[in-house]
Amino acid sequence: MSRILVTGGAGFIGSHLCERLVAEGNDVICVDNFLTGSPDNIAPLLGNSKFHFIQLDITNFIYVSGPVDAILHFASPASPIDYLELPIQTLKVGSLGTHKVLGLAKEKGARILLASTSEVYGDPLVHPQTEDYWGNVNPIGPRGVYDEAKRFAEAITMAYQRSHGVETRIVRIFNTYGPRMRQEDGRVVPNFIAQALRGEDLTVYGDGGQTRSFCYVTDLVEGILRLLWSDYREPVNIGNPREMTVLDFAKLIIELTGSQSGITHKPLPVDDPKVRQPDITLARRVLNDWTPSVPVEEGLRLAIEYFQGKVR
């Protein structure tokens, strides 16, 4: 059993990691400033003696007493409308926040896993995306604040590994969905499900021909924990390679919710990637045959069930 710190632990993915780590008997220190995370996400864990919460902005100095075996660094705004509204916080948490967390890992002798993103590939010219592709990112576009923050975070993480011998891991997370996504975070899954449940038209941006590949959160969590304890020190894609167009995804959600909703087209956001699909050959090889196991129809049913209790 380990003592594990999770930054962004009250966020969507962070809270699923905390839940799983506590269930496995680890001591979990969850850090969050609730900028985009929510107390509701960790409410069920608060009474557990294995779970400790610290409200903290990690772009400032981080102090944690006692030993730390591992750090999962998940703090960041993570949806396009969040980083459009919080551009400076997004850049600061990816740069200053990652620096502080790496300093803590060095001090404690902890291994650290950085949550990176498929956004490092930008609007990709290689498809599906393999880890050796360097990406096609617009550094000065509104979306670039997230992409470049994560690219810097990867660079400083590798520098701490090379210069200070810190045991680092980097996961590049592709579109992930499931319970505890924020209803209003603007991402396609909560938007479409909430719209379908309300009987409103689903807002497809552009002609809906752009593609994404959606991974259910428990599959992602399994891949992340395998990577954390693996020996592999370079970035690894984790995602579900089943690719579909956004238009087909809208139709699937209408079908699964049994909604009468139609579809309305809205303008495509600036620099919206035209295609995205993870190549997970490397993950399979280095993570003991890890592969996603939840089909999108089943995962969406679970997500819909969650939102049914929330949407009004």
Active site residues: 146
- Count of other CB atoms within 10 angstroms of residue 293: 12
Binds ligand UDP (CB under 6 A): choice among 141, 272, 302, 311: 272
Q: Does 212 bind ligand UDP (CB under 6 A)?
A: yes
- Strands of the chain, DSSP E: 3-7, 27-32, 51-55, 70-73, 111-117, 168-173, 176-177, 202-205, 211-213, 215-216, 236-238, 243-245, 263-266
Contact window for ligand UDP (CB under 6 A) among 60-68, 83-91, 124-132, 185-193: 185-193
- Which of 246, 253, 287, 296 is the binder for ligand UDP (CB under 6 A)? 246
Closest listed residue to residue 268, CA positions, set 285, 287, 246, 284: 246
Q: How many residues bind ligand UDP (CB under 6 A)?
A: 15
Q: Considering only the stretches 51-59, 61-69, 228-236, 265-273, report the one whose residues sit in contact with ligand UDP under the rule CB under 6 A.
A: 265-273
Residue 116 binds ligand UDP, judged by CB under 6 A: no
CA pair distance 220, 20, nearest whole angstrom: 12
- Cβ of residue 201: shortest distance to ligand UDP, in angstroms? 10
Residues 6+ apart with CB under 8 A from 289: none
Interaction between residue 191 and ligand UDP (CB under 6 A): yes
Does position 76 interact with ligand UDP (CB under 6 A)? The reply is: no
Q: What are phi and psi of 38, to 5 degrees?
A: -140, 140
- β-partners of residue 171 are 115, 236
Asked if residue 241 binds ligand UDP (CB under 6 A), the reply is: no
187 sits near ligand UDP (criterion: CB under 6 A):
yes
DSSP letters for 174-211: --EE-TT--TTS--HHHHHHHHHHHTPPEEEETTS--E
| One residue of 7, 76, 175, 176 binding ligand UDP per CB under 6 A | 175
Binding site for ligand UDP (CB under 6 A): 79-80, 175, 187-188, 191, 203-205, 210, 212, 246, 268-269, 272
